[in-house]
Structure 1
Amino acid sequence: MPRRFPLLVAFAVAALAALPVFAAREFTDDAGRKVSLPDKVTRVYAAGPPASVLVFALAPDTLVGWTRAFRPDESEWVPEKYAKLPELGRLTGRGNTANVEGILQAKPDLIVDMGSTNATFASLADRVQQQTGIPYILLDGRLDTTPQQIEKLATALGAEARGRELATYARDLIGRLQSKIAAIPPDKRPEVYYARGPQGLQTGLRGSINVEMIEFLGAKNLAATQAGGLTNVGLEQVVLWDPPVIVTNDPNFYREVWKLPVWNSVTAVRKKRVYLSPHLPFGWFDYPPGANRLIGLLWLSEILYPETFRHDLRKEVATFYKLFYHREPTLPQLDALLAEPGVAPR
């Protein structure tokens, strides 16, 4: 993010003067920061994709734009007026593209980020808040805290009733899965490799937000030998791991893996147990690692434990999409989504 802050003072003051003023209320975010929020939030800038997804789910009319514009195939899954919101870039994460000028031009009265709440992100939030005068809150983005994330963000947005509805759905879904997984013995929990990117050689270490679904569902992440985030691995290492199950988010990798002789030595490839995460309008496994993963938990649980889980995915997807994305998919959409090669659990 450019550090031309002294040059922005006059612009920032003028922009702030144009913002509506509401009575303040105090909010403690998940980094322990006390932030003064306007009594009524009407315009929200989401600092990263996970925040975009949840603000959209809870209070779509407050979202001022997306971190990345919707592609045509993604636009079909949400109401048109939201699909047409502008691209504003992202403040946090890899490839951050937004800057202070862009934030001020969007005229938000709240900035929201979800994910890590460590000192680095708290410092960024403090700095941006000080430079813009716009309240900036950080929320824990871990998968197991999704119901609490929903409720806390709903409080900040003044959307408590909607928050209770979504949080109840999330708690019920998580509870249903956890109660059955708890009864699965350790020797029946599969080893899994997450193949990220077109070569399938980027993955997540233990504790990485990108592989939370594997660990949350009680399976064994083969790259969990050390803690960390995303990492690149060699093909030789994947061959040595010899995963019985591979999950990927990349259609190119899924298409090509069957053609490469070295990959054909891997058990998951030989036994046709390579699975492609659906990605419309948001990924089910990753991209982004947000509340969109709730529907992915149902999908992945059936892949990992086919003898334990049998979901009516058409019904489950229709329910989740209507609730979180404000549009129920048509039957042809559902058929196409679930018929994409690599998606079906069986």
Structure 2
Amino acid sequence: MLKDVNLRQALLLVFVVLLLFAENLSESPLPSELVVDHGDRLVEVPDTVHKVYATTEMGTFLAYALEPDSILGWNRGLSPELEFAVLDPYHNLPTLGTWDETYQTIRIDEIARLAPDLIIHYTANNPFNQVLADQIQETLGIPTVLLDNSLASLPDALRLLGHLLGKELRGQALAVFVENHLDKLASFQALHSSYQPIPVHIVSPREPGHFDELLGLAGMVEMPVWNDLPPLPDLVLIMPHTIADPYRAIEEDGHKRIYQIPSFPLNWLEPGSIFSLLGLEWLHSIAYPTSYSGELVQTYSTFMEVFFQLDLTPELVAWTLRRSGISF
């Protein structure tokens, strides 16, 4: 009889504990999703993400390509080229600043007022940025996801961000577009794998090594220091607007293959940019003019239509590719 009483008391105690546990569960917030980002960080994100702030300009454009309505603002004021590429309803979004390895112009109070559901830290996946992502999350009190901005990781970034924004189908479609293009470019490059890397000199305010990822994928190597004496680089690439008219002086030094880097709506060679997909094909086109059989003009037009819903006019194509070595 005593055993029965003790058993009933034990069962009653278990029932009370379970009841209290159930009450605690009912009072807890709605469950969130746990996501492993590209920095192997476990981040608890809301089930539904409507609005995001991206810490870098390239991250903002990545989110814009997937869901324009998701972005709360721009990292800096839109240039005329960017205004032309961006749909009208998004021209007047506020400027929210940047927070990355180089810049910290973020307007924390404004971001707190706008209360994004998620922070996107689209940048190089390295220990520094993994720590910085934690710092951003702690400072803003908003879940922060690190996405790798290398060109090779672009399909994964599109899929993950598409999932977070509830745009899985579009994320998958854009990822497949990028994968197919990268596979085509890799196949082309494999045909030239026996060649020595092509030496190039880049006229740019960027430090040597800044463009190494794309140059490596294109079978090129940068000559960062060049004293106007032989050996000359095979190609000279000039970033627009760096100096007034560099072509004549460079031609006088013996160069014939001088090209201006396309930059509409942003620099095609900038690491971490979705436009670097176009930049890689452009490098192939000028490095191997006799064997390159691609259609850069068509790829460029398709890219802008797919990612930015922008129909390029022949005049805009001509303006973008002026002095770039492309016949159109």
Displacement of 1:182 in angstroms is 0.5
Partner of 2:259: 275
Alpha-carbon distance change, 204 to 149 in structure 1, aligned in 2, over 3 angstroms: farther
Partner of 1:246: 236
Displacement of 1:156 in angstroms is 2.1
Q: Does 1:47 align with 2:48?
A: no
Structure 1 distance, partners of 2:30, 2:52, is: 15
Displacement of 1:259 in angstroms is 4.1
Alpha-carbon distance change, 88 to 220 in structure 1, aligned in 2, over 3 angstroms: same
Residue aligned with 2:33, SS: strand
Structure 2 distance, partners of 1:248, 1:55, is: 29
Alpha-carbon distance change, 22 to 301 in structure 1, aligned in 2, over 3 angstroms: farther
Alpha-carbon distance change, 180 to 24 in structure 1, aligned in 2, over 3 angstroms: same
Displacement of 1:189 in angstroms is 4.2
Residue aligned with 2:245, SS: helix
Larger Rg: 2
Which one is further off, 296-305 or 26-35?
296-305
Identity %: 27
Partner of 2:315: 332
What residue identity is the alignment partner of 1:256? Answer: D
TM value normalised by structure 2: 0.83
Q: Summarize the alignment of residues 190-339 of structure 1 with structure 2, pairs less than 5 Å apart.
A: 190-197=198-205, 202-205=206-209, 208=210, 210-223=211-224, 236=227, 239=229, 242-253=232-243, 255-260=244-249, 263-264=250-251, 266-267=253-254, 270-271=255-256, 273-286=257-270, 289-338=272-321
Alpha-carbon distance change, 330 to 26 in structure 1, aligned in 2, over 3 angstroms: same
Partner of 2:164: 156
Alpha-carbon distance change, 78 to 344 in structure 1, aligned in 2, over 3 angstroms: farther
Which one is further off, 74-83 or 316-325?
74-83
Structure 2 distance, partners of 1:241, 1:38, is: 57
Q: Does 1:37 align with 2:45?
A: yes
Unaligned runs of 5+ in 2: 1-28
- Could you give the per-residue CA deviations for residues 92-116 of structure 1, whole angstroms, max 9, x where no partner exists? 1323311432321332111111222
Q: Does 1:343 align with 2:324?
A: yes
Residue aligned with 1:184, SS: coil
Alpha-carbon distance change, 178 to 97 in structure 1, aligned in 2, over 3 angstroms: same
Residue aligned with 2:325, SS: coil
Displacement of 1:82 in angstroms is 2.3
Displacement of 1:186 in angstroms is 3.4
The count of aligned residue pairs is 299
What residue identity is the alignment partner of 2:307? Answer: F
TM value normalised by structure 1: 0.79
Alpha-carbon distance change, 147 to 289 in structure 1, aligned in 2, over 3 angstroms: same
Structure 2 distance, partners of 1:22, 1:310, is: 54
Structure 1 distance, partners of 2:253, 2:66, is: 42
What residue identity is the alignment partner of 1:299? Answer: W
Does the CA-based 8 Å contact 2:193-2:219 persist in structure 1? no
Q: Does 1:92 align with 2:124?
A: no
Unaligned runs of 5+ in 1: 1-20, 224-232
Does the CA-based 8 Å contact 1:195-1:203 persist in structure 2? no
Displacement of 1:215 in angstroms is 0.8
What residue identity is the alignment partner of 1:178? Answer: A
Structure 2 distance, partners of 1:258, 1:67, is: 33
Structure 1 distance, partners of 2:131, 2:229, is: 41
Does the CA-based 8 Å contact 1:69-1:85 persist in structure 2? no
Structure 1 distance, partners of 2:238, 2:203, is: 5
Does the CA-based 8 Å contact 2:67-2:165 persist in structure 1? yes
What residue identity is the alignment partner of 1:302? Answer: S
Q: Does 1:69 align with 2:73?
A: no
What residue identity is the alignment partner of 1:214? Answer: L
Structure 2 distance, partners of 1:22, 1:211, is: 45
